[in-house]
C-alpha cells in the first residue's frame, strides 16, 4: 500500500514537472508569436503615420 502511494506521488511529480516544462515551452512560443504580432502592428502603425505625413 505504501509502495503504491509512493509510486503515485512520483508519477504525480513527474506529471507536474512535465506540465511545468510544457507550460514554459508554450509561454515561450506564445511570447514569440505575440512579439511578432506586436512588431507587425507597430510597423503598420508607423506606415500609416508616414502615409498621413506624406499627405
Whole-structure pTM value: 0.47
Q: What is the Cα–Cα distance from 50 to 5, expressed in whole angstroms?
A: 66
Grouping H, G, I as helix, E, B as strand and the rest as coil, residue 1 is: coil
> What are the pLDDT digits (tens) for 12-44?
888 888 899 999 999 999 999 999 999 998 888
Q: Is the pLDDT of residue 2 over 90?
A: no
Copy the grid coordinates of residue 3: 509502495
2 alpha-carbon distance from chain centroid: 38
What backbone phi and psi angles, to 5 degrees, belong to 39?
Answer: -60, -45
Amino acid at each position: 500500500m505504501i509502495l503504491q502511494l509512493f509510486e503515485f506521488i512520483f508519477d504525480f511529480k513527474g506529471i507536474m514537472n512535465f506540465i511545468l516544462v510544457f507550460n514554459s515551452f508554450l509561454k515561450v512560443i506564445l511570447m514569440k508569436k505575440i512579439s511578432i504580432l506586436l512588431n507587425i502592428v507597430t510597423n503598420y502603425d508607423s506606415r500609416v503615420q508616414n502615409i498621413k505625413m506624406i499627405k
